[in-house]
Amino acid sequence: MQTKVLYLSDLKFNLDIWRSELKFHSNEMDLFEEKLEQIAKREFSPEATRHLEVFQNRIMIERDAISKLLHRIRKKKEALEHPDFLEQLNGRLQNNQHSLRDDMQTYIKLHYELKEAMMDFFLEYL
């Protein structure tokens, strides 16, 4: 049982870190939207306008992904608050954690790809 409590504590720590990271990324998207709006106020080529629209769409998609991941984290934390101490460590909670961990890794990879593309765009148009 001691092992189970430590394991659940580790899971909760991971969830708290992911939640903080997602909130940081959400705030970052706010800043990126502000910069896109500054660029949109200026008159640029159709190429710049096309990039603006693509980035605005990608931000909307990212916000949706953040929202869904935060929801999954909340649900996971609720499940951790009422654990079944008789459940095996390689049971449901661990399997769900791997799925969420994989999704977080994919999200983070895509987030930083978007961030790099936007930073390159800002360098060119700001």
Number of domains in the chain: 1
Contacts 24+ apart (CB under 8 A), 109-113: 110/62, 110/65, 111/25, 111/62
What letter does residue 82 receive in the DSSP assignment?
A: S
Neighbours of 71 (CB within 10 A): 10
Give the tokens for residue 28: 């970052």
Q: Nearest Cα to 110, choosing from 72, 51, 64, 75?
A: 64
> Residue 12: which domain range?
2-125
Full-model pTM: 0.79
pLDDT by 10s per residue, the chain, length 126: 444 444 556 688 999 999 999 999 999 999 999 999 999 888 678 888 999 999 999 999 999 999 999 999 999 888 887 766 555 545 555 555 558 889 999 999 999 999 999 999 999 988
